[in-house]
A and B are shown apart, each in its own frame.
Chain A
Amino acid sequence: MKENNTYHEGMEANNLPDSLRVNPFDVPEGYFKDLHESLISQAKLESLQKKNLDVPVGYFEKLQQNILSKVSEEKLKDQVKTDGFSHPDHYFSSLQNDILIKVAEDNLKSKVTQDGFVTPSLYFNEFNDQLSAKITTDNLRQIVSTDGFEAPKGYFEALNATITKTIRADLDLDIPVETSTVRSIKRKISWNKYAVAASLAAVLSIGGYFGIQNNNVQDEQKNLSHVSDQEIINYLAQTGNSDDLLYVAKYIDDEDIVGTNSKVKDEDIEDYLKYTL
C-alpha cells in the first residue's frame, strides 16, 4: 500500500512539489499481513530462550559422568542386544483371555469354597496298609495270575443236567418252592428237631459243666428239672451258633431221639461243647 496524501495540509504555496510529496518508503509484500504472527512467534522464542538459560542444580558437575554412563550404556546395548528372557508362544495373544478366565475362577472360588467330597472314615489311617497290600498284590499277580484249578471236560454242561434232574425229582415229589423265610438248610427240618437238639445240647452242656465242678450228677438233674425247655432254647438261640444246632439236628431222626448217642461220636460232642461254652 502507498500513501499519496501524507503531507497535504492546505498550504499549497509552501508545499513541496507533488513529485516530492510521494511517500518514498515501502514494505515487503504481505508484511503487515504476517506482522502479527511474526511478533507473537518472536515473543514466544524470547520467552523460551530466557527459560533455557536455567539448568538443574549440579547439572554441569554431573554432566561428564552422565555422558560417560550414556556411552557405556550404548556400548553394552551393542554387545547384549536382548535381556535373554522369553515367553511362551502365543503368550500375549492369549493373555487377555487367560486373565478373564482367572477372574472368573476367582469369582467361582469365592462362591464355592469346598468341593464337597469326603473320604470314608479312617481312609488316610488305612492308606499305607492298603497301598502296601496293593503293591504286594500287583507283584504277586505278575507270578500267579490264575488259581491253577481246572474242572473236568464237559463238567459244566453235565452240572446243568444234574441240577435240573434233581429239581425235576423235587417237582415230581411235589416239594414246593419255599415262599416264606429263607433258610440255609437242604432238608426240611421241623422245629421239633431244633427243640430236641437244643434241649439235648443244653443238657449235655450244662450237665458237663456241673459234672466237672463236683461230679454230683443227681444234684444237677434236680437243678435242671427246674429249667424249662423253652428257657434252654432261648439260651441257645442267644448264645449259640445256628450251624451247630443244624449239625446236631442232622444226626437226629424223628424216630430216634433216644438213640442219638449212638450216632454222635463222643469226640464230636466234646468238640461241640468246647466250641459253644
Chain B
Amino acid sequence: MEDALIISKFANESTREEAFNHLLTKYQQKIYWHVRRMVIDHDDADDVVQDIFIKVWRNLANFREDSQLYTWLYRIATNECITFLNKKKLKQNVSLDDDSSAYLADSLSSGSYFSGDKAQMKLQQALLTLPEKQKLVFNMKYFDDMKYDEISQVLGTSVGALKASYHLAVKKIEAFFHNND
C-alpha cells in the first residue's frame, strides 16, 4: 500500500487499524534493523521498536506530508534510540560527554542473535568507537543505502556536514581495520 493511502486511511477512524497494520508490515523490519544497529542488543531493540510504533500510532494523524513517511519514521526511531542510549549511559554511569559507544561492547560480545563472521564483528567493534552521529550516518549510508538528502531530513543536519561525518567515520573504520589486523 502506498504511503499516501496509508495516511489517508489512517485519518479515517473506521480504517485506522487496517492502515496501521499495513504501515507495520511495510516498515517494521527497516525500523527494527535501524534501531538494532544502534542499540546492538535484540531485547533493547525490541523495546525501542515497540515504543516507536506506539508513538507512531499516537502521532500519525499529525504527520504533515511535507516530508516522506519513512524519513519521519526514521526520525522518530533515531530520537528514540538516542533517548534510550542516553538512559543506558546514565544507568551504567557513563558520562554523557563520552560520545563513543564503547559501553555497548558487552552487548555485542555477550548478546545472542549475532551471527556475523570475523569481519562483521570487527566492523561492529569499529563502529562502537565512533561518536553516535558518525555511527548513525555510517549505518544509514552503508547498510540502508540512504541518500544524503534523506539522511539530512532524518537527522536535521546539512548535507555537507553529513558528508564530512561519513568521510571521518570511514577513515576511522579503515584505521581500525588496519590497526587490528
Contact = CB atoms under 8 A, between A and B. Distances in A.
Contact of B96 (A133, A156, A159, A275): A275
Interface residues of A, number: 49
Nearest to B13: A177
Interface residues of B, number: 64
Interface in A226-260: 243, 246-247
Task: From A147, A152, A271, name the one whose CB has the most chain B CB atoms within 10 angstroms.
Answer: A147
B29 to A, nearest CB: 6
B167 A149 contact: no
A165 to B, nearest CB: 10
Given A149-B113, A151-B32, A274 B97 contact: yes
Contacts of A149: 33, 36-37, 42, 113-116
A221 interface: no
Q: Determine the main DSSP class of B at the interface with A.
A: helix
Given A129-B164, A136-B170, A156-B28, A148 B116 contact: yes
A100 to B, nearest CB: 43
Contact of B113 (A120, A152, A247): A152
A147 B167 contact: no
B167 A129 contact: yes
Nearest to B58: A178
Interface string B145-181: 0000000000000011001101100110110010000
Contacts of A159: 24, 28, 32, 46, 49-50
Contacts of B110: none
Interface in B7-59: 16-17, 20-21, 24-25, 28-29, 32-33, 36-37, 42, 46, 49-51, 53-55, 57-59
Task: From B57, B113, B124, name the one whose CB has the most chain A CB atoms within 10 angstroms.
Answer: B57
B64 to A, nearest CB: 9
Contact of B97 (A137, A151, A267, A275): A275
Interface of A: 120-122, 126, 129-130, 132-133, 136-137, 140-141, 143-144, 146-152, 155-156, 159-160, 162-164, 166-167, 170, 175, 177-184, 186, 243, 246-247, 267-268, 271, 274-275
